Structure 1
């Protein structure tokens, strides 16, 4: 991510026909506010409910959310850099930005791959027993350790004294970019695709209860949706990096160090309008990537929506929940009234009166 940030700020913003200083800060600010709000609600729902936080899949979702929150912490740097139109945040911030970006991207994609394996073991317990909570916690720790270790070489390539650029040649940059593409993008996505295919085929072949099938389908849909968001968000970035390195006509401050220009060559880089639009779309997708998982989770989980309604004040209930449909009820018929017993009448007839008088 620092490479494409420099591509926009150090070069494109200096030779641009698009107002990056307006569009990019607005999108970054919206992503920051919406992302933090969505993940806060996600944590409230999963942590406050004892049944939810004890599930292995919920632990993986919380780990995925933690990676998204780490990615959101880098957006203030994007806001300030867009305002300055250059990197003026110092060398320590440059190194921290590059390191945090690599760590959070690794944790996110490795968590999605582990979640796909976990979902397959839950859906097909006959093949392998479902993972326990202890195994999932060990997996989370292993994901963070691997991501932290793999991000260290990227920091050594950053020249933070020269405007937060890359201090490697094109060949060395290709030796770094190709393994990063395979490890952080191709291999995890292939693992997720295989597990999702196995899950879908198992759900079609083995019918369970209606409630269980519905839960498994929605959990699989959440996994596929989160994976598609990651793949779409980072594909333009990798494509631009390869074009930036391989094409001799494209140069920028984000590019690996190339040979110095000759006396007849222009010192300033030439950036076409197509390159500006592609760069802007790539950085916007990366900035918006950490915001999509909470809406997908609440969209595909009715219990989570009910728990969210219970946690929020009653003022928001009518906006979050569906309006209740008034149903007419037929009142039961009242019980039949029994006739009141009539008191005995003491009317005397003429014959009875005559009989009593004669006695």
Structure 2
């Protein structure tokens, strides 16, 4: 199994590796630079959320779900990429390659769907298109389940013969095969990127356009509203806008290159050029925890002491967090 996989890689390189030994080492080091913090930070968010009930609020469930997905992506995709690039080749067999491609895609699309769900949740809480409503635990759990079901639905077909997972870029990781010229497999890629990238992107665009317009109006009325609510809403907006920007920076080049190859089958993309968007997408696992730890004071109060191996601040501070959460449940609180 291992020999057949190496033969496949070698044939795609036409007998020559796409990178020098130093190039592979550099790529491994870059991935390690992003993957290490991604594993630590996402695991920390999950652990402190389990340890402290003050963080187990409905508005934070989506962030924890994203941390779970990003951690899974970092472990199955990031760490393997570090090891394989350090080796200069992939040591996976064919079956393991398929499993890696499936796992990375499953976690990655779940994370993207969670960003879209956070966008919808923010719009409903801030803009109130259906009138006043409280975002409850049942809503959060339903949204989380939807993100996993949606991702699973569209990543299983390659395991059943529609589409397939293959080595990508320089051959040290696996993903959906968007270079395949077979119409049967190309149809899967078109559907896949429509429902797993275009749909979340449109949802994010519509939701945050509505959100930013509402916040613009709220900021004008800040004096009438007392200022504090508007300030909280604008802070939440800054966090989610950063998450959307990192979503675009990380995933747009990968999606664009994939669609370019699908619609222009005769275009030749070098392995090195094909690798850059792939690994850029994989770096997304470290951005989100940094953003919401920095912007979300609830997480900040518990994550920072945990990372520094210190005790959580005084009980007075803890009660302040609880009060803040309770007051903001019917308004807007950093998610």
TM over 0.5: yes
1:8 deviates by: 11
Q: How far is 1:152 from its partner?
A: 0.8
Matched with 1:11 is: 13
Q: Which runs of 5+ in 2 are unaligned?
A: 1-7, 314-335
Mapping of residues 57-136 of structure 1, within 5 Å = 57-73=59-75, 74-125=77-128, 127-136=131-140
C-alpha distance in structure 2 between counterparts of 1:133 and 1:93, whole Å: 37
Alignment correspondent of 2:329: none
1:297 aligned residue (284, 292, 296): 292
Cα offset, 1:178, TM superposition? 1.9
Which secondary structure does the structure 1 equivalent of 2:135 belong to?
Answer: coil
Deviations 1:311-343 (A, max 9, x none): 4445999xxxxxxxxxxxxxxxxxxxxxxxxxx
| Cα shift at 1:241 | 2.4
Distance 1:316 1:136 in 2: 27
Distance 1:116 1:180 in 2: 21
| Alpha-carbon distance between aligned partners in 1 of 2:10 and 2:142, rounded to the nearest angstrom | 39
- TM normalised by structure 2 equals 0.74
- When residues 88 and 130 of structure 1 are mapped into structure 2, their CA distance, relative to the original with a 3 A threshold, is same
Q: Per-residue deviation at 1:297? A: 1.0
CA-CA distance at 1:22 after TM superposition: 1.3
> d(CA) in 2 for partners of 1:134 and 1:122?
15
Deviation at 1:32, TM superposition (A): 2.2
Higher helix share: 2
Counterpart of 2:333?
none
Contact 1:9 1:81 in 2 (8 A): no
Residues 99, 151 of structure 1: 8 Å contact kept: yes
Counterpart of 1:176 (choices 173, 188, 193) is 188
Q: Any stretches of 5+ residues in structure 1 without a counterpart?
A: 1-5, 252-270, 318-359
On the 8 A contact 2:46/2:68 being kept in 1, the answer is no
Structure 1 vs Structure 2 CA RMSD: 3.3
Deviation at 1:121, TM superposition (A): 1.9
Tell me the TM-score normalized by structure 1: 0.70
Cα distance in 2 for residues equivalent to 1:173 and 1:16:
28
Q: Is the 8 A contact 1:226 1:293 kept in 2?
A: yes
